[in-house]
Amino acid sequence: MGDERNIFLSTMPTTRRDRMAALAVVGVSAVLFACAVPFAGVPLTPIPAFVASYQSALAINDLITAILLFSQFSISRSRAMLLLASGYLFTALAAIVHALTFPELFAPGGLLGAGTQTTVWLYMIWHGGFPLLVLGYALLKARDNERKIQGSTGAAVVTSIVAVGAAMAAFTWLVTAQHDRLPILLSGGHYTPIMLGVVSTVWCLSLAALIVLWLRRPHFVLDVWLMVVMCAWLFDIALSAILNVARFDVGFYLGRIYGLSAASFVLAVLLVENVGLQAKLARLLGSLRLQAASERDLRTERDSLFSAVVESSNDAIITKLLDGTITSWNGAAERLFGYTAAEAIGRHINLIVPPDRRDEIRNIIERIGRGEPIAHYKTSRMRKDGSTVDVSLSISPIRTASGKIVGVSKAAHDITESKRTQQALSQEIEERRRIFESSNDLIFVTDSAGNFIQVSPSVTAILGYHPSDMVGRSAIEFIHPDDLEHTRREMRAGRRGYSKRNFETRYVNKEGKAVALNWTGNWSEPVRRHFFIGRDLTEKQAAEAQLRHAQKMDAVGQLTGGVAHDFNNILTVITGTIGILEEAVADQPQLAAIAKLIDEAAERGANLTKHLLAFARKQPLQPVEVDVNALVLESAKLLNPTLGENIEITPLLAEDAWTALADPNLLTTAVLNLAINARDAMPNGGKLALETSNVFLDDNYASMHDEVTTGNYVMIAVSDTGSGISPALLERVFEPFFTTKEVGRGTGLGLSMVFGFVKQSGGHVKIYSEEGHGTSVKIYLPRATGLQQTTAEALVSAHVEGGNETVLVVEDDTLVRRYVMTQIESLGYTTLEASNASDALRFIDEVPAIDLLFTDVIMPGIMNGRQLVDEALKRRPGLKTLFTSGYTENAIVHHGRLDSGVLLLAKPYRKSELARMIRLALAS
């Protein structure tokens, strides 16, 4: 129900028109009152019938007004309205009692045992009680919105009627039966002082009610006309009880006319209100009829449209009762499931549910019964022919107007094709993700501004960064400055429509080194993205450099061999004829000395050609089985007086060393040459280690060195603690005539002779050197008994024990690191890789599950392998460690760079040795 102020005219806010009308009535009444005042005491002819007519009209007016106000109270429940209605009921009853007790109206002295003062007191009670109730109405109406009558309004009305009736009965008894006890108000036709006081009080009560009504805002229409009533009430009291002098004078008649007018104002407003409400009701009823007809037509049209939508829908729309009985079945359901509407309606929904999904239906109905809608529920259903179809269900409860759930509405969408498409898309996305994550090549996705959107995980191995380090940053930050403009041109060309670009650009890795990459680029206009695949050219360039070096060495060897051959021919003539010359000048000492100098020079030239032929691998060899231990010991004896006392020579020979297939003289020369070079690298003295051991060079090692053939070799290592060789010079040490010594010291042919001899013998030579640490040269000569593994050795090598622990591999050489990673992963281990000590320590801090640190001993940077292990053990005391190095274990310990007992795996090593050392390190 809405606010009663918007329902009743009497309780609507006043308008200017209402206020002007009320003011006009008050003004006319005041003018008439002013005109009547001088004549108030003029006696007129008594007309008893006037009193009866006036009292009857007054009682009827007030009674009707009370009834109307009580009816409004029953809707508004306003305490103020109940009080005002009671006031009008009080005046109606007072008017009736006043008429019954009026002298000479129904009896000479009045009925009900009235006395001479009865009517006067009744008048005062009547005209004092009504203003009091109006005053109560004015005080309560300001709070009326806050407090309403609770409970039955009928009971409240009856209670008010009983209370007013009881009060009126009490007043009647007081002024009749107790008449003689009341003060005298009229004596000899004149007012007594008590009368003046009483009538003044009554008049002031009316004035107070008027003032309070004026002050209590907002004003309603009823309030304005009540103020008019109270003005008329004041005029009534003034003319009837103050200004007149006797009954039936001008004041007496005019006062009653004012009283009757006062009773009519509110009644007139309420009657106008009722007429207005009836007109409103009639209009509303007509409007409702039109609306109902319109809604009926709209509902019919909507139902028709809904039916058309349901029938034309591509989704199967089905309704059913809560017990699962189908109640409707549209055309799409017929097409989807194969059943006609006649076949499906009235049957249980299990008609289309596979037997293994019957529990689904019970669960769905239970959820719908709780009022829970179900959206996009993916399941499968069964067609009439027995085949299944994948569907997406949207299920809602069907409710009555009262909200009770009586059924289920279900829309089924065929998702068989979309599911197949989604599966294919998911598979394609997964395949692309796998390619992206497992690619060894770099995969970059950038926006049009060159900012990285996606970076493949392979960036860690190639550039040292994690993908998160690069995503969101500009490629400019990583591209080599010299290649930046070239890269920009390629990207602009891609955006101009060239679908595929192939170019080389260098990136700068995390360590600040340039990495050459070959890029294939593509631009996608729909997504406005660049897609790049970059292949690391490091291995390719290294292989090309190695090939160029080998070709250069072969070319130099061919040239050197040719020169040495021709030079040998010349020397043959010189050495063949110098004897004749010496004999001819034997009697001439001065010429004989010159001839001797020529002979010595020819001898030196012959030795030089031997070295050149050795490097060119064209010297005549006489390979035999050589006991390398005996040869090394013999060489050590020769070296003791040659190297001097400040160099300590330590033979470290394998007890079970195999015999090697080589020319013993040339092998001795090679060892001596290496020892002499070591001496020159230790001018202030040092240590020289001569070692032998048995080695098997496997397929993995052979794949990294083109000249190596898989098989058994005898290794002879010459290691010193000298100044070492810088990386820039290390690649050139085997070139003929190249030397790092001072001018006049050495020919630069010592290492080239060793290189040529070993290669010609079918062996392999490897040099390891670090500035400030020393040099180790390893000669690998073929085993005399055969190049392949024996059956027993193969069985030992085949017994490989792996594991599932996590190994952190630290190696600065990219090729070696990848080789080691492959070997360790093939043993079942999980690997992490780092190219320097800083990256390794970051892994140690961030990854808790690292079981073994496998590190190279000598690494560039501020921290070598030994220092890395020391720092790692501070951060993780229980960490297992294993060292590897190109130096032999004996040389490393001998040089003092590792503590005694520290595990070291010397390069190269076979897979079985790697597996054994890892297990040994993990178990230590």
The answer for residues whose C-beta is within 8 angstroms of residue 866's C-beta and 6 or more apart is 857, 883, 897, 898
C-alpha–C-alpha distance, residues 438 and 904, integer Å: 32
C-alpha–C-alpha distance, residues 552 and 748, integer Å: 17
Position 75, amino acid: I
What pLDDT shows up at residue 621? Answer: 57
Contact 840, 863 (CB under 8 A): no
For residue 183, is the peptide bond before it cis, meaning its omega torsion is within 30 degrees of 0?
no
C-alpha–C-alpha distance, residues 429 and 425, integer Å: 6
Contact 230, 203 (CB under 8 A): no
C-alpha–C-alpha distance, residues 479 and 326, integer Å: 69
CA atoms within 13 A on the CB side of 33: 22
User: Please, which residues bridge with residue 824 across strands?
Assistant: none
Tokens representing 461 are 């191995």
Q: What are phi and psi of 870, to 5 degrees?
A: -60, -45
C-alpha–C-alpha distance, residues 880 and 531, integer Å: 43
User: Please, which residues bridge with residue 689 across strands?
Assistant: 650, 719
C-alpha–C-alpha distance, residues 4 and 71, integer Å: 12
Check residue 5 and report its DSSP letter. Answer: G
What pLDDT shows up at residue 908? Answer: 67
C-alpha–C-alpha distance, residues 906 and 909, integer Å: 7
Contact 699, 708 (CB under 8 A): no
Contact 500, 531 (CB under 8 A): no
SS (H, E, C) 75-131: HHCEHHHHHHHHHHHHHHHHHHHHHHHCECCCECCCCCCCCCCHHHHHHHHHHHHHH
Q: Between helices 221-237 and 250-312, what is the axis angle to 10°?
A: 170
Q: Is the dihedral of CA 553, 556, 561, 567 positive or negative?
A: negative
Q: What are phi and psi of 572, to 5 degrees?
A: -60, -45
Give the containing element (helix H, strand E) for 428.
Answer: helix 416-438
Q: Pairing state of beta strands 326-329 and 316-321?
A: antiparallel
The shares of helix, strand and coil residues in the chain, as percent rounded to the nearest 5, are 55, 20, 25
Contact 262, 239 (CB under 8 A): no
The answer for residues whose C-beta is within 8 angstroms of residue 82's C-beta and 6 or more apart is 70, 73, 149, 156, 157, 160
C-alpha–C-alpha distance, residues 605 and 609, integer Å: 6
What pLDDT shows up at residue 116? Answer: 81
What pLDDT shows up at residue 604? Answer: 62
Q: Is the dihedral of CA 40, 43, 48, 49 positive or negative?
A: negative
Position 336, amino acid: L
Q: What is the CA radius of gyration of the chain?
A: 62
Q: Pairing state of beta strands 529-536 and 501-508?
A: unpaired
Nearest to 642 by CA among 662, 614, 666, 671: 671
Tokens representing 600 are 């010595």
Check residue 830 and report its DSSP letter. Answer: E
Given the structure tokens 């065929």, which residue do they identify?
Answer: 414
C-alpha–C-alpha distance, residues 404 and 671, integer Å: 104
Check residue 612 and report its DSSP letter. Answer: H
Check residue 278 and report its DSSP letter. Answer: H
> Alpha helices, DSSP H only, in 644-749?
664-680, 699-704, 727-730
Nearest to 186 by CA among 173, 176, 196: 196
Contact 791, 764 (CB under 8 A): no
pLDDT along the chain (924 residues), means of 10: 48 78 77 71 67 75 83 82 87 84 78 81 85 87 64 87 91 87 77 82 87 84 80 74 61 63 67 65 77 78 69 81 88 88 89 87 85 86 89 88 85 82 78 74 83 87 87 86 82 66 81 83 77 76 59 53 54 60 73 73 61 48 80 81 80 87 81 83 86 85 77 89 78 63 50 75 83 85 68 54 91 80 88 90 91 86 84 91 74 56 74 85 86
C-alpha–C-alpha distance, residues 253 and 244, integer Å: 10
Q: Pairing state of beta strands 806-810 and 852-856?
A: parallel
Check residue 360 and report its DSSP letter. Answer: H
C-alpha–C-alpha distance, residues 561 and 612, integer Å: 6
Position 748, amino acid: G
Position 526, amino acid: P
Q: Does this model's pTM top 0.75?
A: no
CA atoms within 13 A on the CB side of 574: 18
Tokens representing 886 are 């190109």
Q: CA angle, corner 250, sides to 248 and 253, nearest 5?
A: 60
Given the structure tokens 């280690």, which residue do they identify?
Answer: 689
Q: What are phi and psi of 659, to 5 degrees?
A: -80, 145
Sheet holding 852-856, edge to edge: 830-834, 806-810, 852-856, 880-885, 904-906
C-alpha–C-alpha distance, residues 328 and 347, integer Å: 10
Contact 332, 313 (CB under 8 A): yes
Nearest to 885 by CA among 867, 906, 903: 906
Contact 366, 359 (CB under 8 A): no
What pLDDT shows up at residue 743? Answer: 44
**What length does the chain have?**
924
User: Please, which residues bridge with residue 515 across strands?
Assistant: 507
C-alpha–C-alpha distance, residues 626 and 757, integer Å: 15
Distance between start and end Cα atoms, the chain: 90
Contact 214, 248 (CB under 8 A): no
What pLDDT shows up at residue 598? Answer: 76
